[in-house]
Amino acid sequence: MAKYRIEEMTFLEFREHMAKDPVILLPLGSVEIQGPCNPMGDFMLAAELAGRVAERTGALVSPTFPFGCADYFRDVPGGMQVSASTFRAVLRDMVCSFLDHGLERLLVFNGHTGNNALIDETLRQIRRERGVIIPWLNIWPLVPNSLRAEAHGENVGRASGHGSDPIGSVYEYFRPELTRREIAGTEEPKRSLIGLPTGGLNSVKLGEVDVFVPINMTDHCDAVVGGDPSLANAQAGKLFADYIVETSAELVEHLKTAPMRDPAPRLGVPT
């Protein structure tokens, strides 16, 4: 059976792949609260989805970095966060481990939205310094509203949020033995900080105005940031997972022949 996960290859097997100039996916995830019903290790889903993309396209998959930058979850036990500086350094080292050997067809496959700004910052720096453009996907927002409506019908407005869908349903599809859907609770009471109602994990509300403050999760809720986790189901999870894999596979096919070098001269580098 063909190997596509780099951690399962001998170095000789990987060297054979190098000659084909492969696309390599770098999955990222986190270990954090995902509501009362879902396992904390959402990096497992990013790894599984990346593997399915590789099976479909012939791409390779690097080992998954399982820790995200999510300081707002630090007051919830069990989670394992890394600092912004640590995340940037690890991502840079992951990428440069391939760039140093002339492998430039890389795709960062991000499963934790809290990483977004740091990924962008790191890949911009690499573009400036190395002249290579590395694309990245934030996989969960890929699922369009139309597909969420197909999956949940009239309940679509209540189904999505941190601790619920789309991750909840994809867990039910991939790893139902790890979930606890039967303990899904009712909607949590509203909370406030500095005398104003919280609006999520980074703001409070002054009427219709978002006022940004450093909120911790327990300032806002106990377990579910948004959505109803009881609505997650395997059928919806298959729809979501298939869409993420198909969309990502389309990008991988494009990257097989795309020009990855920066077309513009780098600042401070003689042309």
* Domain region containing 207: 191-222
User: Residue 174: inside a domain, yes or no?
Assistant: yes
Give the 3-state secondary structure of residue 168. Answer: helix
* 109 and 202 together in one domain: no
Backbone angles phi and psi of 186, in degrees to 5 = -90, 175
| 98 lies in the same domain as 210 | no
CA distance 125 to 28: 19
**Residue 126 and residue 213 in one domain:** no
**Residues 138-142: what's their mean pLDDT?**
97
Tell me, yes or no, whether 152 lies in a domain: yes
Q: In terms of domains, do 131 and 49 share one?
A: yes
Question: Based on the domain organization, do 60 and 23 belong to the same domain?
Answer: yes
- Residues 208 and 75 both lie in one domain: no
Q: Are residues 103 and 201 in the same domain?
A: no
Q: Which of 222, 243, 266 is the last residue of a domain?
A: 222
Residues 45 and 167 reside in one and the same domain? yes
Alpha-carbon span 95 to 125, nearest angstrom: 12
Say whether pLDDT at 192 is over 60: yes
Distance CA(260)–CA(127), nearest Å, equals 10
Decide: 109 and 137 in contact? Cβ < 8 Å: yes
pLDDT digits over 182-191, tens only? 999 766 778 9
- Position 268 scores a pLDDT of 56
Q: What percent of the chain has pLDDT over 70?
A: 97
Residue 113 belongs to domain with CATH number: 3.40.50.10310
Cα–Cα distance measured from residue 223 to residue 126, given in angstroms and rounded to the nearest whole number: 37
Q: Judge whether 271 lies within some domain.
A: no
- Residue 261 in any domain: the answer is no
74 inside domain: yes
Residues 110 and 235 in one domain: yes
| Domain contains 262 | no
Residue 222 banded pLDDT, cuts 50, 70, 90:
confident
Q: Is the pLDDT assigned to residue 80 strictly greater than 90?
A: yes
Is residue 268 in a domain? no
Q: How many other C-beta atoms are found inside a 10 Å radius of the C-beta of residue 136?
A: 19
Total structural domains within the chain: 2
Tell me the pLDDT tens digit for each residue of 26-69.
999 999 999 999 999 999 999 999 999 999 999 999 999 999 99
CA-to-CA separations, 109 to 49, 185, 220, 232, 242, in angstroms, rounded? 9, 32, 29, 23, 15
Looking at the fold, whether 50 and 153 belong to one and the same domain comes out as: yes
- Same domain? For 165 and 212 the reply is no
| Contact in structure between 114 and 31 (CB atoms under 8 Å) | no
| Mean pLDDT of the residues in the chain | 94
State the Cα–Cα distance between residues 181 and 251, nearest whole angstrom.
34
In a domain? residue 163: yes
Residue 132 shares a structural domain with residue 62: yes
**3-state SS assignment for residue 25:** strand
